[in-house]
Chains A and B, each alone.
Chain A
Amino acid sequence: MKKHLLSIHDVTAEDIVRILDTAESLREVGTRVIKKVPALRGRTVVNLFYENSTRTRISFELAAKRLSADVINFSTSGSSVSKGESLKDTALTLQAMGADAVVIRHSSSGSPLTLTRWVRGSVLNAGDGTHEHPTQALLDLYTMREKLGRLEGLRVAIVGDVLHSRVARSLSFGLVKMGAEVTLVGPPTLIPPDAPAWGVDVSYDIGGVLPKLDVCYMLRVQRERQRQQYFPSVREYARLFGLTRDRVAMLPEDALIMHPGPMNRGVEIDSDVADLPNSVIEEQVTNGIAIRMALLYLLLGGTGADGADAGEAA
């Protein structure tokens, strides 16, 4: 595996299988009385969160702690980050502290890559701008594999604001890499013009897509997108593309309903749909910790020296 995880393109299909298998073993740690293994004892993992995200940050924090690593949290409120210290200066400070890994979430696309210039440790992208969110994609792949037994040939629809979704990008790339069939669904104004080059299909008709799915993955649609005029109104959006009770009835019985959270109940997904049994939204959260443990373990468990080139070509 490569030294950093900045994008889903940094891992091969074989790497992904390895990550998912490792996460499988690590999930068991969370069921023990003592939820800890000493694998990363003495290592320092820094959470550098420029965007508020309690959920993801806690997931990474728990992941690092269960591997016995030391965790430092830099978040936007309070710290030097909010006082306007530049990314570079923050990075150099982390470097001086001896961070073995930096988990970064930032609103500017490309910030994780920029960070790799100034820190010697591994950099993990926890979401950058509208670019990528590889750990979310991996935990989603894990959830799908666990529930449906495979990834190859799965028929997955990703529905909603694909244009602004880093999750949709990473997940699409990841699914295509693992041989799944992906269809993007949404108003044309929210489907990226370069989408056909991703190896996915595009449809504007959710009703036509639902009956043939194994997974229906709903994206969050922010109300401010209506203000920015990507669609006329939330009402029309929900009518044309929302996952309503009626639409859920069109899904095959074993199909999964997924959502990266947080949900806009009543917009992209009806309230009672999110609570249906084939909705695995809660499990996505649990699996997140195991996946992040697996990633930290695989990135920090080797020296990184020569490891990046030997064996698996990244």
Chain B
Amino acid sequence: MGEAEIRRSVTRIAHEILERNRGGGEVALVGIAARGDDLARRLAAEIERIEGVPIPVGVLDITFYRDDIGYRAEAPEVHETRVDFDITGRIVVLVDDVLFTGRTIRAALDALVDFGRPTAIQLAVLVDRGHRELPIRADFVGKNVPTRRDDDVRVAVRELDGEDAVDVLEPVPAPAVANSEPSDRSNGSDR
């Protein structure tokens, strides 16, 4: 996806959120760090532009709720969590950049529940790349992008990476040279 496509997706998702939830009155957005929060802020700004309703935005780091702590070589990197409002009684829309196995969202649901009891939790993602390992589905999708399991989906957001882009990269084949070490390609952001 290019910059224009991303912008259109964000606008469309904003409209869909308003439609589905009968205006933005009870809605709050919680973006999943990293990049999900930048997208959440953009969505909130769009919604306010369209409807004139200010939407509270929080950022959630799900590192401590991951199911693979202790299975990786190093403890995963931690980001900021800030949810300054009460989520109890609200419709919380989780926002993330890529929906893949669904484990990140499972962790986010666990985390959210520790903050309060929302009326409902919905999910908005920029890209759904398939290969679900848990029964999780998105309510709002920017674009469905079929991928192979070991493809690398790279999302760049202006706020963090300087540009807006979604790229799908195929894995680099190992060079066929005698006595070479197997290429140490780290897995894509398998969150």
Binding site for B on A (CB under 8 A): 1, 18, 21-22, 24-26, 28-29, 32-34, 36-40, 43, 67, 297-303, 305-307, 310-311
Contact = CB atoms under 8 A, between A and B. Distances in A.
Contacts of A22: 78
Contact of B114 (A34, A301, A307): A34
A8 to B, nearest CB: 19
Sorted nearest first, the 4 A-B pairs with minimum C-beta distance are A301-B75, A37-B64, A39-B64, A307-B73
Contacts of B115: 32-34
Nearest to A41: B69
A25 B80 contact: yes
A28 B82 contact: yes
A302 B72 contact: yes
A97 B80 CA distance: 35
A29 B61 CA distance: 11
Nearest to A296: B75
B81 A39 contact: no
B76 to A, nearest CB: 7
Contact of B69 (A18, A29, A40): A40
B75 A302 contact: yes
B74 A307 contact: yes
A25 B79 contact: yes
B162 interface: no
Main secondary structure of the interface of A (DSSP, over half): loop
A310 B74 contact: yes
Interface string B71-95: 1111111111110000000000000
B133 to A, nearest CB: 19
B190 interface: no
Contact of B110 (A24, A25, A38, A303): A38
Given A39-B64, A39-B69, A300-B70, 16 more contacts: A1-B74, A22-B78, A25-B63, A25-B81, A32-B115, A37-B111, A37-B114, A39-B65, A297-B64, A299-B75, A301-B74, A301-B75, A301-B76, A303-B71, A303-B72, A310-B74
A17 to B, nearest CB: 12
A310 B186 CA distance: 12
Contacts of A307: 72-74
29 contacts: A1-B75, A18-B77, A21-B78, A25-B61, A25-B63, A25-B78, A25-B79, A25-B80, A26-B78, A29-B64, A33-B114, A34-B115, A37-B64, A37-B65, A37-B111, A38-B64, A39-B65, A297-B78, A299-B75, A300-B70, A301-B69, A301-B75, A302-B74, A302-B75, A303-B70, A303-B73, A306-B73, A307-B73, A311-B74
A33 B63 CA distance: 19
Contacts of A302: 70, 72-75
B118 to A, nearest CB: 14
Contact of A298 (B66, B75, B111): B75
